[in-house]
Amino acid sequence: MPKPQPELLIRGAQIVSPLGSSPICGEEMRHLRVINEGWIACSDGKILGLGPMDELVNHVTVDGCTEIIDAAGKVVLPGLVDPHTHLVFGGSREDEFYLRAQGTDYMEIMTRGGGILSTVRATRAASLEELVETGLQRLDWMLSQGVTTVECKSGYGLDLETEIKQLRAVQILNERHPIELVATFMGAHAFPPEYAGREDEFVEVIIEEMLPAVAEQGLAEYCDVFCESGVFSVEQTRRIMERARELGFKLRLHADEMTSLGGAELAGELQASSADHLLQITEDGMTALREGQVMPVLLPATAFTLKKPYAPARRMLERGLPIALATDFNPGSSPVPSMLLTISLSCLYMGLTPEEALNAATLNAAVSIDRAEQLGSLAVGKQADLVIFEVDHYSKIPYFIGADLVETVIKRGSIVYHKPRFRGGYEC
């Protein structure tokens, strides 16, 4: 039988990947498949094969049409997946960043009309074109960090028109940028000032007007709610989520971020795709996530920025839960677009091993956006989303904190990013 001729072949690298396409839980998160001096070949946007270099000749034929990347001394991983961001927003909030740095609390700023509501004003004022332009720039930041798939939430409109403008921006960005986007409607992110004292009426507007309109226009795959003291109660969240599910949305939840309100328990009951933040999760919350097979998505860059205690990751792993990681990139609690920094923080402050952190940022992150069949691990037939890192062992990825480690990013088999090199002041 003739051997296939790949369009792209990477050879000589340490090839590192989670195993399989199912959630990786507890103890299993300590394992990765590692091929030292390996090859990986791609065609038609998919992975054609991979293995150790000494077996390459048995598997593929290389001719002049094959693009070859020599990656000896480098590491290849699946494209990183960032399953929780608020990427599309107007304005910025560096003023609050410095206030918080000097001790003011995040929720206190929000109660004073700043925080999310400040970004709501700026996002309402921004044009669709401005949101797309700033979105493209932020996606470039993420791509150069090895990210190939990003979940994006609305939630800075809090009125139908602006929520739709944000989701339209996500749709346009998905067409224009190589990063693949997954859209989430989050109209229940805060109560808009015009509904002050009439919060339940706003819940009705979400249920009766916003959710049906977003569903009809097919603008979002998920619905998310900020379930928190002083924001959406467990009961309000349940009503929104149940209606969302009836309309065909899958569910994610901002749960137990500042207080142990019962968000994780609700996510378990509703069998949501993910429960995110979980800084204040209780033992009952962990049981509920396990029973409901909900992916916990942990956001250490938020705890870092807000100077809050980190989510109890080791306790969750001991209880056999899986863990995914995300940046929570947003203008307030996490102005951090970097999955690489997130990975480093998860090791330093939540005690993850490099293997656990990399499983969490690839396959488990893909599971949380229901894309594990296509993304998150290197296996024949999966989408060819790959990153080449300029380190010789994967354990150096979390270790070189904040370094520019990504050399090349491949999305659906095509090179979409290659790091510019500077030697003695000129680009070569």
Q: Which residues bind Fe ion (CB under 5 A)?
A: 328
CA-angle at 256, arms to 197 and 80, nearest 5° = 120
Q: Cβ 302 to ligand NIG, closest distance in Å? A: 5
Q: Cβ 412 to ligand NIG, closest distance in Å? A: 29
Residues 6+ apart with CB under 8 A from 342: 299, 300, 301, 325, 326, 327, 336, 361
Q: Which residues bind ligand NIG (CB under 6 A)?
A: 86, 115-116, 119, 226, 254, 257, 302, 328, 330-333
The option from ligand NIG, Fe ion, none interacting with 356 (CB < 5 to 8 A, set by class) reads none
* Among 251, 244, 250, 279, residue whose Cα is nearest residue 266: 251
Residue 239 or 254: the one with the smaller Cβ distance to ligand NIG is 254
The option from Fe ion, ligand NIG, none interacting with 119 (CB < 5 to 8 A, set by class) reads ligand NIG
* Among 274, 279, 311, residue whose Cα is nearest residue 295: 274
Q: Cβ 422 to Fe ion, closest distance in Å? A: 36
Residue 143 or 190: the one with the smaller Cβ distance to Fe ion is 190
Residue 358 or 369: the one with the smaller Cβ distance to ligand NIG is 369
Report, in angstroms and rounded to the nearest whole number, the Rg of the chain calculated over CA atoms.
21
Q: How far is CA 90 from CA 133, 135, 137, 373, in A?
A: 11, 10, 13, 34
Q: Cβ 80 to ligand NIG, closest distance in Å? A: 19
- Nearest residue by C-beta to ligand NIG? 332
Type of residue found at 368: S
The option from Fe ion, ligand NIG, none interacting with 184 (CB < 5 to 8 A, set by class) reads none
Residue 257 or 355: the one with the smaller Cβ distance to ligand NIG is 257
Residue 8 or 306: the one with the smaller Cβ distance to ligand NIG is 306
Q: Cβ 238 to ligand NIG, closest distance in Å? A: 18
395-398 long-range contacts, Cβ below 8 Å, gap at least 24?
A: 395/354, 397/75, 397/77, 397/340, 397/343, 397/354, 397/358, 398/343, 398/344, 398/346, 398/347, 398/348, 398/354, 398/357
The option from ligand NIG, Fe ion, none interacting with 408 (CB < 5 to 8 A, set by class) reads none
Q: Cβ 148 to Fe ion, closest distance in Å? A: 20
Residue 119 or 144: the one with the smaller Cβ distance to ligand NIG is 119
Structure tokens at 330: 């947003």
The option from Fe ion, ligand NIG, none interacting with 224 (CB < 5 to 8 A, set by class) reads none
Q: Cβ 293 to ligand NIG, closest distance in Å? A: 23
Residue 158 or 378: the one with the smaller Cβ distance to ligand NIG is 158
The option from ligand NIG, Fe ion, none interacting with 14 (CB < 5 to 8 A, set by class) reads none
The CA distance from 152 to 423, in Å, is: 37
Sign of the CA dihedral with 401 first, then 404, 407, and 410 last: positive
